Amino acid sequence: MKETLEGLENGSVDMVIGTHRLLSKNVKFRQLGLVIIDEEQRFGVEHKEKLKELKTNVDILSMSATPIPRTLEMAITGIREMSTLATPPEERHPILTYIGGYSEKQVAAAIRRELIREGQVFFVHNRVSTIEAVANQLAELVPEARIAVAHGQMSEGALEQVVVDFWERKFDVLISTTIIETGIDIPNANTLIVDRAENFGLSQLHQIRGRVGRSRERAYAYFFYDPSKPLTETAHDRLATIAQNNELGAGMQVALKDLEIRGAGNLLGGEQSGHIAGVGFDLYLRMIGEAVSEFKGIKTESPAELKLELPVDAHIPNTYVDSERLRLEAYHKLSAASGERGTRAQLDAILAELEDRYGAAPDPVKNLIDVTELRQKANRLGLKDFNVLGLQAKLQPVDLTESEQVRIASLYQGTKYLQSAQTLLITAPRDENFEPLRDTAIIQWAWGLLAKVFSNTESSKNDQA
């Protein structure tokens, strides 16, 4: 160790392979040029900060089958460059994946099926306190199987001996914790059984599944959950994702779903996962994209977006959809459908999906659908500003001839048209009690206003059609 450290400092060592020990303060490099990080998802924020401090202008290559959400998001937005390896080694087969409630009968059948073809089995039980009891239970279920136990609380020598014995086929079944997640390559082990899979993260499940299927033999992965307890929505999403993405090279799809479930975290802070609370996801991505383009010296012109402000209670209440992630997902779908090419049919489909999952939609959700339809119309008309706040309603840009100005002034009292700014100002509507219109009433009034102001535009479009 001492000779290696001295070699790094004086330059006699060209390449060093090590663990987190290389990030220690007493490790000095004479001229560091390239850092390769394997299994990037196992590095925490503190480790990555130390990597940045090693030396400026160092090329860093991070490798992972399932990147941390923030790392993947940085690659997608252009902050980092990304390459994907989708071509599997020759003669490899997709791992057949089964998801279901824990069943002793299925466990015994899976183990015996592997023993018949003279293979070996990984059984993952991630609780050291009960792992011996599980081993005894399996010994009763499959008495002909030779069973070994491995976990992180064993001594280093004992743990190494168990793994070596399993490699040499002295045991048929290795019951272990998640210590087998990385660094284990046993081609003869082609059946994986995971107990209480609902408690594992998505990237963990994918990494553990990668312990089998490393030879020409067909591999099987069984992810069992506790049938006596209902699955949480997040756990269901994780298990469904791992079942759907079982083809070779599916790591990218799994990582993207993990990003969707866990969120991208904080770009400038310590969180490597978590959803964005301060700004919408679309706005966040656009801001990041603009910042990256500016850093690269690429000039970008952001198109002006419609500013639509109405006194309407339009949102998805927490009491209707309690999951922040699922609310963000619904908002994202509505945002995607709000452009000039959006249709009412798209909005009805989104509403039908919400009501199918969560029951009858409350008024704020219905208002949100109607406001989004109004936004579609305003986008088609080319408006950039449409608001009804305070005493006036404002539309811009609006190009009116003198005759059109007279016509609109006769329809709405207090009309003002600023020709240089192409801005139309109209007195905001009120009800019989002289209170400002709100919610459904103001949405209907806004539709009528657009129809009257742009009547010539609509008729000319119909004539062209």
Among 216, 214, 144, 204, which residue's Cα sits nearest to residue 173? 144
CATH domain 307-464 topology:
Aspartate Aminotransferase, domain 1 (3.90.1150)
Domain range list for the chain: 2-63, 96-248, 307-464
CATH domain 96-248 topology:
Rossmann fold (3.40.50)
Query: Could you list the pLDDT tens digit for every one of the 465 residues in the chain?
Result: 889 998 988 989 999 998 888 888 888 888 888 888 888 777 776 776 677 676 667 888 888 877 777 777 777 667 778 788 777 777 788 899 999 999 999 999 999 999 999 999 999 999 999 999 999 999 999 999 999 999 999 999 999 999 999 999 999 999 999 998 877 889 999 999 999 999 998 888 988 998 999 888 999 999 999 999 999 888 998 899 899 888 877 777 787 777 766 665 545 444 445 554 444 555 566 666 677 777 777 766 555 578 888 899 999 998 999 887 788 888 888 888 888 888 999 999 999 999 998 999 999 999 999 999 999 999 999 999 999 877 888 999 999 889 999 999 999 888 899 988 899 999 888 888 888 888 999 999 999 999 999 887 554 444 444
Q: Tell me if the bond preceding 397 is cis, omega within 30° of 0.
A: yes
Tell me if the pTM is above 0.85.
Answer: no
- CA-CA distance, 18 to 37, in Å (whole number)? 10
Residues 6+ apart with CB under 8 A from 347: 334, 337, 369, 372, 373
DSSP strand pairing (392-396 vs 423-427): antiparallel
Q: Assign residue 341 a region: left if phi > 0, alpha if psi is -120 to 50, beta otherwise?
A: alpha
